[in-house]
Copies of this chain bind each other. A is one copy, B any other.
Amino acid sequence: MRSVSLILALVCVGMETQEEGSPATTNVRGAGYPQIGKDGRITFWLKALEAQRVELQPGGDDNGLGRGPIAMNRGEDGTWSVTTPAAVPGFHYYWFLVDGVAVNDPGSETFFGWGRQTSGIEVPDPEGTFYEIRDVPHGAVRAHWYWSPVMNEWRRAFVYTPPDYDVSIESRYPVLYLQHGAGEDERGWSSQGRANFIMDNLIAEGACRPMIVVMDRGYAQQGREENRFGEVLLGELIPSIDGAFRTRADREHRAMAGLSMGGAQTLQIALMNRDVFSHIGVFSAPLRGFDTEGAYGGVFRDAERFNDRVALLWLGAGTEEPRIHGPLKAAHEALKGAGIESVFVESEGTSHEWQTWRRALRDFVPRLFREE
C-alpha cells in the first residue's frame, strides 16, 4: 500500500506541476520559477536554507501582484514558495525579502526600476498582442551615445528606427521623444514597455506614420543638484539626433511624451518650448495645483493661439490609479472649459504600471504627424 501511495503521490505532483502552468517569459533561460498558471495565479520560489522569514514584495502597493509583503512558506527542504491569487496582466516589478533584505529572484531577468535592478514578471494578456513580437518587419533599437557638455559625461539614449529606415535611404522621419518614469531609465520603454514592438505592429497595420522614437535618461543631475534634463534634451540630445539620423528637424515633426515623472517633464519642457514640439503626450503624470491661468507660463490663456500651435495635447491614465487619474481628468475638463483642445484617454482596469503606458503609447502614436 505504501508504495502505491508513493507512486500516486508522485503522479499527482507531476500532474499538478503540469497543470500549474509555465515559466514566465521574463525568466532567465532554464529557470522553472516563477511559474504562471492558466488561471493567472503565480507561484514564486526561492531557496534560502538558513532564512528565518522570506516574503514576496511587489513593487508598490497597487502593483498587479497584490499588496505586500506576502509571506512565503518554508518547505522541508529549505525552499520557500507562495502562490498568489490571479495576477493582473502586464509587467510587474517584485523582489523577495529574506529576513528583511531585498533580494532579486535568481530565476528572473532584472529591469531597471525603483532606482536599482529589480526582478520583473510579465503576466500574459489575451489582449496584449499589440506589444508582442509578431511576424512583421522589425525596426531597430540602437544605443546612441552623445557627449553632454552640460553634464560633462557621455550619455546613452536608445533610438528606435522604423523597419524601412535602412531601405528608404532618402526618407526623413518625424521624431517622438519618449520618457520613462522616476526610478527607471533609458532602458525602460524598450525593455519593460516594449515600445519597439508596439511601433512595429502599428506601422505594419498602417495605423501610424513611420517615425523615429528617442528614449533618453530623464536624469541629468549630480547628487542633489537640480535636474537639468530639459537643458540636455533641448541643447544636446535633439541636435545630436538631428545630426546622426535622417530626421525631419522642425517643430511640426517633433513630439514629446512621457510617463509619470516623464509626463511631468513633458508638460514642463514641451509646453514651454512650443517652437520645438508640436505634439505632446502626458501619461499618468502626477499633477499638483494645475490651473489654466498661471500654469506653464500662462500658455493656456490664449486658447485660440494654443490650439493653432499645438497639434495634439494628449492626457491619459489608468482607472486604477485614482490619485493620478482624478487630477489629470480634472485638468482635461478645466482645459476644455478654457477652450483648449486636449484628449483624455483612460486605460480600463490598470494602475500606475507599464500596461497603462503600453496602451497609452498605442493610442497616442497613431494621432501624431497627421497634418499633411
Whether B99 contacts A51 by the Cβ 8 Å rule is yes
Chain B residue at minimal CB-CB distance from A97 = B50
What are the residues of chain B within 8 A of A141 when measuring CB–CB? 142-143
Which residue of B101, B166, B244 is within 8 Å of A244 (Cβ)?
B166
Interface residues of A in 83-117 (CB under 8 A from B): 98-104, 106-110, 112, 115-117
| Contact mask for chain A residues 274-307; partner B; CB cutoff 8 A; 1 contact, 0 none | 0000000000000000000000000000000000
* Contact stretch, chosen from A12-20, A132-140, A208-216: A132-140
Q: Chain copies in the assembly? A: 2
Whether A142 contacts B140 by the Cβ 8 Å rule is yes
Whether A117 contacts B117 by the Cβ 8 Å rule is yes
A1 interface residue (CB < 8 Å to B)? no
A29 interface residue (CB < 8 Å to B)? yes
A30 interface residue (CB < 8 Å to B)? yes
Q: Give Cα distance in the complex from A14 to B352, angstroms.
A: 40
| Contact mask for chain A residues 235-248; partner B; CB cutoff 8 A; 1 contact, 0 none | 00000000011000
What are the residues of chain B within 8 A of A245 when measuring CB–CB? 166
Whether B101 contacts A104 by the Cβ 8 Å rule is no
Q: Give Cα distance in the complex from A112 to B110, angstroms.
A: 9
Q: Tell me the smallest distance from the CB of A53 to a CB of chain B, in Å.
A: 8
Chain B residue at minimal CB-CB distance from A104 = B104
Q: Given A28-B115, A28-B117, A140-B144, verify A99-B98 contact (CB < 8 Å).
A: yes
Chain B residue at minimal CB-CB distance from A108 = B117
Most chain B CB neighbours (cut-off 10 Å) among A46, A49, A52, A145: A145
Q: Tell me the smallest distance from the CB of A204 to a CB of chain B, in Å.
A: 13
A338 interface residue (CB < 8 Å to B)? no
Chain B residue at minimal CB-CB distance from A159 = B140
What are the residues of chain B within 8 A of A101 when measuring CB–CB? 46-51, 98, 103
What are the residues of chain B within 8 A of A100 when measuring CB–CB? 48-50
A219 interface residue (CB < 8 Å to B)? yes
What are the residues of chain B within 8 A of A133 when measuring CB–CB? 145, 154
A6 interface residue (CB < 8 Å to B)? no
Chain B residue at minimal CB-CB distance from A134 = B154
Which residue of B30, B117, B169 is within 8 Å of A110 (Cβ)?
B117
Which residue of B51, B99, B117, B144 is within 8 Å of A104 (Cβ)?
B117
Q: Give Cα distance in the complex from A223 to B31, angstroms.
A: 10
A–B Cβ pairs within 8 angstroms, 29 of them? A28-B112, A28-B116, A28-B117, A29-B115, A29-B219, A31-B116, A48-B99, A50-B100, A51-B99, A51-B101, A98-B98, A99-B99, A101-B103, A102-B106, A103-B104, A104-B117, A106-B117, A107-B116, A108-B117, A110-B117, A133-B154, A135-B147, A138-B144, A138-B145, A140-B140, A142-B142, A143-B190, A143-B196, A166-B245
Chain A contact residues, CB within 8 Å of chain B: 28-31, 46-52, 98-104, 106-110, 112, 115-117, 133, 135, 138, 140-145, 147, 154, 166, 169, 185, 190, 196, 219, 223, 244-245
Q: Which 9 A-B pairs have the closest CB atoms?
A: A140-B142, A110-B117, A50-B99, A106-B116, A48-B101, A141-B143, A50-B100, A142-B142, A110-B110
